[in-house]
Chains A and B, each alone.
Chain A
């Protein structure tokens, strides 16, 4: 065969291959379209809590779990530390296998693979998981510890749809204002230094589209005429105002941090590279543990703040539904819940956990029982086009939040 003909044959081969691949993909596509349109908006009945292979009573679940012998979880790193996962395995015979999710988006992706029994989802992932029908409602009769969960965490928009509960509350925490005592006035109790330019070049900010809600919380207090009531339900005008505020803030930021670089925040506050910003209680614990301790104060400012309330959910097609139900019940048991809450510096979800924490004051420090304290903490939620009020379907969906965040970062 001549060289030229060889060359031709090569290209023809590649072209044929591409065509075949394209055809394969398009034919798959037409199959999947039906699934896509079926997502969202379906109502669930109590019968839906039945998952294939799940025992009808707690006793039978315990027996069947012994046969399953394993539970596969998608978690926020550390949510199944062996100090409470090991006792679970001893009690139930279910080995705990985990996969860390890097972000809420990542967790939604992982659950979509169908390879996992359950997930510890934050409020900005839960509704997406429900709409994609990746998770099943929970039958709370089979999770007796649910009775002791704080009422303030039950029946929330991020874990309950049309009166049907989709998971058990894991615990909650606020995103706090943190600042160097020696660099900012002593009485600081407002988000203002983060937004007004007084600490330009010294800000430490959480790097995620959901941070747009933090701008909205500040606007709620400072520009009441925008009429923001829920920082996750922003119409065009409110959204634009928040994005503009964030664009003004961008050049003042010294360092972004996120779920993978949070330890960096400790370093920058220590060196004074950053003087004020947002933080999780977890990092303030790390800063206090430094030698000498980093001179910072952290608090919930007067404008209120965003926060998280995580929910353990069960996959609709869980391969180990019995082990997963036992885990749902176990992780909100007073003993396990107390361990998790202290490990992360968050408020436990089980009211009886407060008596079991190593630090007797843990629940007071983290306001676990003080419902009034949580009133102006807006838990992470999934932004949707449905505003949930008389404005109708004019709010900005998460897709827009993501695009805006890319734009803000420039």
Chain B
């Protein structure tokens, strides 16, 4: 008696199975169905609103009612180029963002270095919590606290008084405040970057006769630099776009405050001016990518 080899009957073609085999045969369809929703969101809602906003830059307002009139022209850009005030404001904002970034990098590096390479695990945990805690506090509460500290009879003025220095001026005050606000965004990437440097490299450097300072300059710092650039993306872009702190602390105008003031009765000009930070950030990101910041993130 010979036994007939058992053949598995083909599975019943339920709709689910049919769908499954369709996706098996068509990898493109699989990718498309998986990504349709997120890409739709990204393109329609995220980029779409941005495109609509930027299109407004080519429109104008009716001089009396301030209604947006969809009349295509380049007047807004001409105004931005011809009136010195917009160039001054843009340069002031970029300078501020640069100074804040430098100050944050200088402050963050020692802290991050201590956390990553010196502190014991318990101390490190406490430090991470201490750095993250301010992020939980309300932005406005912190802003008003700094506003009070920077005032004429505020804490900082009191600290400086014995040295015969008055309370800091608007610009310095704003710089201090921004540096405080964005410091955690610098510390965390640098901390991660320093933590990722393998000990073996440092040991190898020591074995080859380098002293600790030389190891720091030649090994640690170059390896951590992309992380600093990654952190600077946050500090720089956050300063570039903020409009609340300049309103509360300084009399000077910044890109954010000009856009904020223009938005309700001069949307087209506000949209045109919004191109400036977009261009600056695009350039910044291209340079940051060259410096390897994206791999450090």
Contact = CB atoms under 8 A, between A and B. Distances in A.
Interface residues of B, number: 40
A402 B251 contact: no
Contact of B265 (A25, A268, A402): A402
B88 interface: yes
B62 interface: yes
B65 A39 contact: yes
A17 B49 CA distance: 12
A40 B65 CA distance: 8
A39 B67 contact: yes
Given A268-B151, A273-B151, A36 B52 contact: no
Interface in B247-263: 247-248, 251-253, 258, 261-262
A385 B63 contact: yes
Given A25-B70, A398-B265, A406 B253 contact: yes
Contacts, number: 114
Interface stretch (A27-35, A44-52, A144-152): A27-35
Interface in B45-66: 47-48, 51-52, 55, 61-66
B152 A271 contact: yes
Contacts of B148: 267
Contacts of A29: 70-71
A128 interface: yes
Contact of B264 (A103, A264, A268, A273): A103
Contact of B153 (A112, A128, A271): A271
A105 interface: yes
Contacts of B65: 39-40, 108, 128, 131-132
A256 B265 contact: no
Interface residues of A, dominant DSSP: helix
Given A21-B48, A261-B248, A398-B66, 8 more contacts: A102-B264, A128-B66, A264-B248, A402-B261, A402-B262, A402-B266, A403-B83, A405-B261
30 contacts: A17-B43, A21-B55, A25-B52, A25-B55, A25-B70, A28-B70, A29-B71, A108-B65, A128-B66, A131-B64, A131-B65, A132-B65, A253-B251, A256-B251, A260-B247, A261-B248, A264-B147, A268-B152, A271-B153, A273-B151, A384-B64, A385-B63, A398-B63, A399-B61, A399-B64, A406-B86, A406-B261, A407-B85, A409-B251, A410-B89
Interface of A: 1, 14, 17-18, 21-22, 25-26, 28-30, 32-33, 36, 39-40, 102-103, 105-106, 108-109, 112, 127-128, 131-132, 253-256, 260-261, 264, 267-268, 271-273, 382, 384-385, 397-400, 402-403, 405-407, 409-410
